[in-house]
Structures are given as structure tokens and as C-alpha cells.
A and B are shown apart, each in its own frame.
Chain A
Amino acid sequence: MAEPILVVDDQRELRLLIRLSLIGLGRVETAGTVAEALALVANDRPRLIVLDVSLGAESGLELCRSLKSDPATSGIRILLLSAYGQDADVAAGLAAGADRYMLKPFSPKDLVAAAAELIA
């Protein structure tokens, strides 16, 4: 089976929205916490992670940084999603190694286009 796309968001509704949006690109797995995400990364290496910047008390930004700084996982493309849209937030996301930064709310069509580009 092909490598999945992993969606990491602490909000159930957003996980569903992103999964439904990207389902045309292949298998989509979802995680609500950093621990769930790490387990999925270890067992079922994804080709793309769509990652929310803030996961409740946990930080998606931190997860992005640690995945990108580990040679074993640095090749995984990461699309950060965030409801924070200040320039400094975008810069922090890109500094954490994200391949792309998208602001909430987003159009599913745009999300699909960005994800397709990253895994092409």
C-alpha cells in the first residue's frame, strides 16, 4: 500500500475536513495528539504530514521542528496549518522547517492543490 498522508489536528472536525479534502490523493491517516502522530510516523511513514500549529497544550511547531531535524524523518514533506496569520507566525513555521504554511480558514481546493504539489 502506498505511503499515506498524515493529518494531525486536535480538532475532530478539522481532521474530518482535511481527510475528506485529501482523500482523492490516496490513503489518509489522522492523529489528534503528538504521541499518536509519532506512532503513525514510526509505523507507517507518511509522504506528507498536514500539521496544525497548535495541538491544544502541545505544539505542532515543535513536532515539525523535531521531525525535520531527525535525518530519519526529515524527508517527509510538512504542510503547516494555522489559525495564526501574522508574518512572524509564518516565519516561525518556515523556520521550523515546514515546506508550506497555510492559514485557516482554507479552501479545500487550495489545500488539495498545495498537497498535490508537495507530494508530486
Chain B
Amino acid sequence: MQASLPLPLADLERVARMAQRLCGVAGAGIALHEEAGIRQAAWIGARPDQGRVAGFCASLRDGVEVAEDAGAGGFLAATRLPGPGGMQVASLCLFDPAPRAFGDDERAGLADLAALAGQAFAGAMQQRAGGERRQRYLTQASHELRTPLASIVGFSELLLKREFDAAGRKELLEIVHAQAGRMLKVLNGTFDLARLETGGRAALQIAATPLDSALVQALGIVAPLGQNDRLRLELAPGLAPAAADPARLAQALGIVLDNALRYSPPGSTVLVRTWAAPGPALGIEIHDAGPGMAPEVRGRLFESFYRGPGALDTEGTGLGMAIFKEIMDLHDARVELDTTPGAGTALTILLPALGEHHG
């Protein structure tokens, strides 16, 4: 539903004004074709009656169409343009009480203006989607910070106001300390993700990065779990280097390895495989024998703060896979997920190799 797109849009009014001036007509506007009928998204100057716009616009094909029959109500001219929703259509309409013809220049100008209006719709939709995403993210971030803060505020107040024996005091202080650490993790993850999103690819230090050395670094990142003996490495020899930011690539691989080790049964093997792929690209597969994912979990895997069922007792923040995906996107890498509940998860990355891209 895009009914809530704020109308009129200033950019559309500007397009209408330009069309009005270009063709020297009494009125011009942009009509949005909705299921319920035609809505005027912007209009400048004289207006025809709504019913005529509807009847005319509904029959529009591609290109500029002019209703020359004029009649008592004046004439209408219009051209189709892409509306805000994928399926939606809009039109740039002209109106004047006096009939007139349109030259090729005017038709070409109208087509250009219609394209501008289409871009304005797309921009407005994108902006709105971005605003909603930011709001959701902020709400979720606030929730993730308030939760550990509840323990910190609550237990510290109890410790200040009540008497506890030494063991009780220690237990509560340990919770306060652990929850403060959790808050720090959420904050760090939040800022890291924001830094990646705002910095974009330009903030990466892209260099010739041997995949093996990025993997060695990633192994170092997950070493504190004490589970590296569960990793089985099948690394192709003589691979071309990746076009990657070495630290970010290692971070991304570390996140996936951490998840694979954490969410699979103790003692089970996690396979890490690399190969040369066409493109040229480098293939990396991380395959665990974990519980796999239901479609709902899989669909939300890269969402910020999303934590799958069964994640309750682990230390994750729900930001890892969002950070992983952002790093992969910035590297123009393709990520594929092959997972079935009960049958483990294979995550495949196709990372562009350095050079040869443009011949």
C-alpha cells in the first residue's frame, strides 16, 4: 500500500509548472491511477473536472496522447509515466479550455518531463521506505539497549538499598557487569553497522587480499570459542586474490564461522571450502551440521537485531549477520543460503577476484 505517500510532492508540482510553461496551457498536473480512481498528485493552474481526467487517463497508451476533440470542456493531453508502486501508473496531464495542436518539440519535452515525474515518485518512495527502516531500526536498537539497562539500573538500586550477604552481592554484581558488557556489544555493533552503511564502498580499503590470509584472520577471531578443531578446511591452492578490504572480509568470515560453530552440535564438523569461480570470482562455502533454518528465519536472517528461535541463551546481539550482509554488499559479493530445518546450513559467498574485470 502506497496510499500514505505524502501528496502533493513539491518535485511533482515543479514538473507540472514546467509542463504548463513549456506548452503554454492553463493547467498541468500529475494524476495517480489508483484502484479506487484517479488522484491528483500535483496540479498547477486551471483544472478540468475529475471525471474527464479519469476517463481519458485510463485509456492512455505509451507516448503523448492528445484528446483533440476538445468539446466544451477544453482539451486534455497526457503521457504515461511509472507511478510510485511497482504496478502503478501515473500520467502527466495538460488542460486548457481552448483547443490546440502539439508539435514534436512539445511532445518530446512532455516525455522528458514525464520521466522526471516518474523519478520524483521513485525518489519519494525510496525516501519513505528509508525513513520507515530507520524508525524500525531505532525502535529495535532502543529495545536492545533498554533490556540490559533494566538489569543494570535495577540490580544496582537493590545493591545500594538492601543488605545482601557477600555471595548474593557478588552474584548481582556479576549480572550488572555482564549486562553492561552486553550493552557495549550492542552499541559497538550498532555503530559498526552505521559506519558501514554511511561510509559505503568508498570507506573500504580494497586491496589484493589472499583468501587464505583472510580466513586465517577469521580463525583468530573465533579462536576464543575454543572450537577451531571442529573446522575442516578444504582450500583450493593458487587462487587469485580477492578484491576486498582485508579486515572487513576477515570480520565477515569470522561472523559466519562464529554462527556456524555456535549453532551446530558440539563436536560436529564445520566445513570451510574455497574454489575459483567464473567471473572471475572466489567461492567460499561454510557448511555446518546445525539445526538449519525454517523459511521464516531464513527470510529474516540478515535483519538487524533479529535473533532466531533457540538463540535465547547465546550471547549474540542479532547484528552479526546484518553486518556480514552489509560487508558482502559493499564488496559486490553474492551470498547464497542453502538450508533446511534439521539438515544444516551451507552459506556460499561469491566474491569478486581482483583485476580482469574490465578486460
Taking beta carbons and an 8 Å cutoff, which residues of A are in contact with B?
10-11, 13-14, 16-17, 20-21, 56-57, 83-86, 103-109
| Stretch of B92-100, B119-127, B147-155, B273-281 lying at the A interface | B147-155
Known contacts A105-B150, A107-B154; can you find 4 more A-B pairs with CB under 8 A?
A: A13-B155, A83-B144, A108-B154, A108-B157
* Cα separation A19 to B209 with both chains bound (whole Å): 54
Contacts of A21 in B (CB 8 A): 154, 158
Residue pair B312, A105 in contact (C-beta under 8 Å): no
A-B contact pairs, 23 of them (CB 8 A): A13-B151, A14-B147, A17-B151, A20-B158, A83-B142, A83-B143, A83-B144, A83-B147, A84-B142, A85-B142, A86-B139, A104-B146, A104-B149, A104-B150, A105-B149, A105-B150, A105-B152, A105-B153, A106-B153, A106-B154, A107-B157, A108-B157, A108-B161
Tell me if B6 is interfacial: C-beta within 8 Å of chain A. no
A83-B157 in contact (CB<8A): no
Inter-subunit contact A57/B309 (CB<8 Å): yes
Main SS at interface, chain B: helix
Q: Given contacts A13-B179, A17-B151, is CB(A105)–CB(B158) below 8 Å?
A: no
Shortest Cβ distance from residue A26 to the other chain B in the assembled complex, whole angstroms: 17
The complex places the Cα of A57 from the Cα of B158 at a distance, in Å, of: 30
Residues of B within 8 A of A11 (CB): 147
- Say yes or no: A14-B151 contact (C-beta < 8 A), given A21-B158, A83-B143: yes
Interchain CA distance A103-B149 in the complex, whole Å: 11
A108 surroundings in chain B (CB, below 8 A): 154, 157-158, 161
Instruction: Decide: A83 and B309 in contact? CB cutoff 8 A.
Output: no
Residues of A within 8 A of B147 (CB): 11, 14, 83, 104
Closest chain-A Cβ to B172's Cβ sits at a distance in Å of 8
Partner of A84, one of B143, B149, B161, B175: B143
Residues 95-152 of B contacting A (Cβ, < 8 Å): 139, 142-144, 146-147, 149-152
Contacts of A84 in B (CB 8 A): 139, 142-143
Which chain A residues border B157 with CB–CB below 8 Å?
107-109
Q: Are B158 and A106 interface neighbours, CB within 8 A?
A: no
Nearest CB of chain B from residue A64's CB, rounded to whole Å? 18
> Which residue of the partner chain, among A17, A56, A83, contacts B154 with CB atoms under 8 Å?
A17
Residue of B nearest to A84 (CB): B143
Query: In the complex, are the beta carbons of A10 and B312 less than 8 A apart?
Result: yes
- Give min CB distance, A115 to chain B, whole Å: 14
Chain B residues closer than 8 Å to A83, beta-carbon distance: 142-144, 146-147, 150
Assembled-state Cα–Cα distance A56/B313 (Å): 11
Residue of B with least CB distance to A11: B147
Q: Which chain B residue has the least Cβ–Cβ distance from A86?
A: B139
* Chain B residues positioned under 8 Å from A16 (CB to CB): 175
A57 to B294, CA, bound (A): 14
CA distance A106 to B158 in the complex (A): 12
Question: A105 with B146: in contact, given A14-B151, A17-B158 (CB under 8 Å)?
Answer: yes
Nearest-CB residue, chain A, relative to B178: A13
Task: A86 to B146: give the CA distance in the assembly, Å.
Answer: 13
Enumerate chain B residues within 8 angstroms of A14, measured Cβ to Cβ. Answer: 147, 150-151
Q: Complex formed: what's the CA distance from A20 to B159 in Å? A: 11
How far, in Å, is B131 (CB) from chain A's closest CB? Answer: 15
Could you say which residues of chain A place their CB within 8 Å of the CB of B153?
A: 105-107
Say whether A85 contacts B154, CB under 8 Å: no
- Which of A17, A20, A57, A109 makes the CB contact (< 8 A) with B150? A17
Most buried by B among A11, A13, A85: A13
CB distance from B128 to the nearest CB of A (A): 18
A17 to B155 CA separation, bound complex (whole angstroms):
6
Task: Compute how far the CA of A104 lies from the CA of B142 in the bound complex, rounded to whole angstroms.
Answer: 10
**Nearest CB of A to B353, in Å:** 41
Which chain B positions have C-beta within 8 A of A109? 157, 161
